[in-house]
Structure 1
Amino acid sequence: MADAEVVPLVDEGLGNSAYLVDLGDGRGLVVDAALDLRAAWAATRRRGLRLAFAAETHLHADFVSGARQLAETEGTRVLASAAGRREFPHRGLRDGDEVDLGGLRLRALATPGHTHEHLAFLLLDGGAPLGVFTGGSLLVGSAARTDLVAPERTGELARLQHASLRRLAALPDEVAVWPTHGAGSFCSAPPGAERTSTIGREKATNPLLALADADAFAAELLASTGSYPAYFRHLPEVNRRGPDLLKDDPALTPLDEAAVRALLADGAMVVDARPIERFAAGHVPGALANPLRPAFASWLGWLVPADRPLVVVRDRDQDAAEIAWQAAKIGFGGIAGELAGGMAAWTGPTAAVGLVRADGVGGAAVLDVRQEREYRAGHVPGALHAELGSLGGDVPELPRGRLVVMCGHGERAMSAASLLARAGYRDVAVMTGGPGDWAGATGRDLVSES
């Protein structure tokens, strides 16, 4: 059965992959499935499978796990680390434990580092290893961060990550590597990396595997980690206890303008999911711009307090279910509903944001809100820098004259501009495009920092 079909289920927004394994007998195994099971259900329906097993490599920080939902509603058998002390039905596994999948077998490998209870799962056909689900241990070209459990354990876990990677590297070169975290994940993965690999390819190309010394490995790994959304700090405990079960698919409740006004008067916040051009032309004053795109969930969880009620504004051609699912998969349950009819139904005052092209920045102060790694790789000369995530709390003191905000395309910049407007900055515009567009329009070089 060495041709077992393993189907990646990629969430581009979170930068993660779940995996569906066709066990060949009408049953399936899913690894690291999020609460948003739409892709998993579509893949199982196409293959006529029943999800018999759900394996969890670790207590996830970046999404709500779908394991409990599957266990309670489908009778799926959950396989997870015994050290994780999950409080819902599952089979707790320890290092070396094996599970008979009916022809194939799954062997648990203790691989602490990303979390203290992390397991990798080796998929075996007889005695032959086919591939390994590495979760947040060995990634394509990297390894996942170790600073999400507790600050005082970060260094210890980084050294454990070193040992875990070397253990995995001892597998045969032809063994497939199926990580959960990939490019775009805030759990640490290099940009542009492929989603899957092999042990041999990682041994030849992964710079972290070339570091034999645990302290050198820890220093290199920790130097590569950037900031992460605030909701990462509480989701592991949500997933350990077991997320609330969904009785129905999440949805946006229609609210008339009077209901929206009442909610705003009581402290609610508007999240405007429309494209940046639509938000710029007119929006509810004080609204947060978060254009609907794959990264919508991450920025929602990063910029909005989890306990703050939200009202969504969207265009009619934007999928309300997609907005609701993106909020649900990060455990954001504070959406009160949506403004029925969108901005066309709003009769109150509106606010606007100016848009400028790359050749229209002029002598304005420039604020770059990309991640630190992006900024250092190349930015407009003299540009100020503040990551978008840092603007969700106390906004730093910035020039009070004309300010042009930029990112890579415009979406994050518009989110930043809306936050700056809430903080009292009045002369703020957003540059459409990114640093490359500015360099092309002006003929000037970007500044890079090593």
Structure 2
Amino acid sequence: MAPIAPIPVVDEGLGNSTYLLDLGAGRALALDPQRDLRALRAEAATRGLRIVYAVETHLHTDFVSGTAELAAVEGARIISPAVGERAFDHLGLADGEDLDLGSLTLRALSTPGHSPEHLSYLLYEGDTLAGVFTGGSLMVGTAGRTDLVGPEQTVPLARAQYRSLHRLMELPDETPVWPTHGAGSFCSAGAGAERTTTIGRERRTNPLLQLEREDAFVQALMARMGSFPGYFRRLPEVNRRGPAVLASPAGLAPLSPARVRELLAAGAQVVDARPTREFAAGHLPGAISIPLRPVFALWLGWLADPQAPLVIVRGADQDPEAIAAAAAKVGFDSPAGELTGDMAAWTANGGATERTELTDAAGLARMSDATVVDVRQAAEYAAGHVPGAINLQLGDLLKTDGPLPEGPVVVMCGHSERAGGGASLLERAGLSGITILDGGPDEWAAAAGRPVATGVEQ
């Protein structure tokens, strides 16, 4: 008999896997689906499957759940932890309770830690354990972070995570482990590139599972937690209440330059999704640069104001449906629309523009008087940075306790995308003399003929 193999549908930008499980007779189960269901639906359609169950391991913080839409459109039954107090129709499972799927059975296993109500699900084929869906509990080489509910819950949930992981270690070594969070997810406390594993492999190699004492585990887990987007504190309540079902296909309404000016006068914000080079060459004053790429949704949720109308500027070759779907994933349900005609229409209609300087690594190597601001995560900065660069992470750039650096300032990351975002935020804050580095530390080292610095500079 072939082993059960759920199909992972991976969102590289959010670092998450939704699992599609064939239940037989053309039926399927989707576990931890996010709101952009296009890839999941395409996978199901290719296999001739209809999604009849939508299962959640926990109240998600990093994306709006797609279970409500699967229920409304496909007629799927929502299965969630019983203690999550969800305010919509669902079947709540408690520890040890089973869901009969026909030839398969899903058994709830209480594994709090990443969230207070977190469930893992054991999958049985008859009496044979086929694997375990671990959501935000056990991951490849790590575990889910426990500081997303609130500071006062971080340590208690870390202790709960310790007990949950050791409960999972009671399973046989050969048990496949199918986590939701993985590489690229800010819900994990550090993670490798692989997305699935086994109980035995984690028992042998997961650094957190080599720590026998609970206190040591808590300290190690907390040491792995970096910053996270502020919207992570907003979305659990959206998911608890039940997100709105987006009845019409995702898209962006056209906005004339005159209408954009009206919206800006009323407090709207502009997000420029074009590549960094195009943004630097000319953009609307005050626009936030978030280039369209897999992590667009993450940075939109992190940098944009959810209370302000959202105006998009995009390139002619960029898909408006992809932009709208990404926005919906992090709770921007109804963007005001997009500027019609790109920047050419804006300038032709008398709209003002701003430019941001762009330099390459050789140009930076020749600059001796500039303050270099590295907007990457702290761990990236510590692994290798331009000597003397200060680390102000992009998501917290304008929340620094100290004064913002004054020009000339060169903003950098690993390539240029986050650097463009950082430069746009500094310009919005009123700073001038900002330059974006087109490149990263390795390019600088090659151009300067000097090694990068490591560690944290004082």
Q: Shorter chain as normaliser: what TM range?
A: over 0.9
Match of residue 358 from structure 2? 355
Q: CA deviation at 1:4?
A: 2.6
Cα deviation 1:124-151 (Å, max 9, x = unaligned): 1111111111000001000010011122
Distance 1:19 1:118 in 2: 17
**For 1:352, what is the secondary structure of its paired residue?**
coil
Identity %: 59
Q: Is the 8 A contact 1:306 1:334 kept in 2?
A: no
Amino acid at match of 1:380: V
Output the aligned Cα RMSD. 1.3
User: Is 1:157 matched up with 2:157?
Assistant: yes
Amino acid at match of 1:410: S
Distance 2:427 2:401 in 1: 11
**For 1:23, what is the secondary structure of its paired residue?**
strand
Match of residue 423 from structure 2? 417
Cα deviation 1:94-126 (Å, max 9, x = unaligned): 111111111011111000000000000111111
Match of residue 105 from structure 2? 105
Q: CA deviation at 1:296?
A: 0.6
Cα deviation 1:332-386 (Å, max 9, x = unaligned): 1352000011111112121111111112112121000001111111111110110
Match of 2:375 among 369, 374, 390: 369
Match of residue 438 from structure 2? 432
Match of residue 270 from structure 2? 270
Q: Is the 8 A contact 2:190 2:224 kept in 1?
A: no
1:151–1:190 Cα change, 3 Å: closer
Match of residue 410 from structure 2? 404
Distance 2:70 2:302 in 1: 27
Match of residue 292 from structure 1? 292
Distance 2:402 2:293 in 1: 27
Q: CA deviation at 1:393?
A: 5.0
1:378–1:394 Cα change, 3 Å: closer
Matches within 5 A, 1:319-334: 319-333=319-333
**For 2:252, what is the secondary structure of its paired residue?**
coil
Matches within 5 A, 1:230-241: 230-241=230-241
Q: Is the 8 A contact 1:141 1:193 kept in 2?
A: no
User: Is 1:378 matched up with 2:381?
Assistant: no
Distance 2:198 2:55 in 1: 20
Q: Is the 8 A contact 1:139 1:189 kept in 2?
A: no
**For 2:336, what is the secondary structure of its paired residue?**
strand
Cα deviation 1:39-66 (Å, max 9, x = unaligned): 1100110010110111100000000001
**For 1:124, what is the secondary structure of its paired residue?**
strand
Distance 1:373 1:81 in 2: 34
Q: CA deviation at 1:72?
A: 2.2
Amino acid at match of 1:285: P
Distance 2:191 2:376 in 1: 14
User: Is 1:16 matched up with 2:16?
Assistant: yes
Match of residue 448 from structure 1? 454
**For 2:58, what is the secondary structure of its paired residue?**
coil
Q: CA deviation at 1:192?
A: 3.9
Q: CA deviation at 1:193?
A: 2.4
Cα deviation 1:201-257 (Å, max 9, x = unaligned): 111111001112111111110111011111110111111111111111221000101
Matches within 5 A, 1:247-286: 247-286=247-286
User: Is 1:338 matched up with 2:338?
Assistant: yes
Distance 1:393 1:257 in 2: 32
Q: CA deviation at 1:395?
A: 8.5
Distance 1:126 1:212 in 2: 34
Q: Is the 8 A contact 1:414 1:430 kept in 2?
A: yes
Amino acid at match of 2:65: S
Runs (5+) with no aligned partner, structure 1: none
Q: Is the 8 A contact 1:20 1:30 kept in 2?
A: yes
Distance 1:16 1:419 in 2: 28
Q: Is the 8 A contact 2:189 2:224 kept in 1?
A: no
User: Is 1:32 matched up with 2:32?
Assistant: yes
**For 1:20, what is the secondary structure of its paired residue?**
strand
Distance 2:302 2:56 in 1: 24
Distance 1:28 1:43 in 2: 11
Match of residue 43 from structure 1? 43
TM-score with structure 1 setting the length: 0.98
1:59–1:235 Cα change, 3 Å: same
Match of residue 183 from structure 2? 183
Greater shift in the superposed pair: 80-89 or 439-448: 439-448
**For 1:79, what is the secondary structure of its paired residue?**
strand
Q: CA deviation at 1:191?
A: 4.8
Q: Is the 8 A contact 1:105 1:126 kept in 2?
A: yes
1:381–1:208 Cα change, 3 Å: same
Distance 1:241 1:138 in 2: 27
1:312–1:393 Cα change, 3 Å: farther
Distance 2:12 2:372 in 1: 29
**For 2:396, what is the secondary structure of its paired residue?**
helix
1:339–1:227 Cα change, 3 Å: same
Q: Is the 8 A contact 2:142 2:191 kept in 1?
A: no
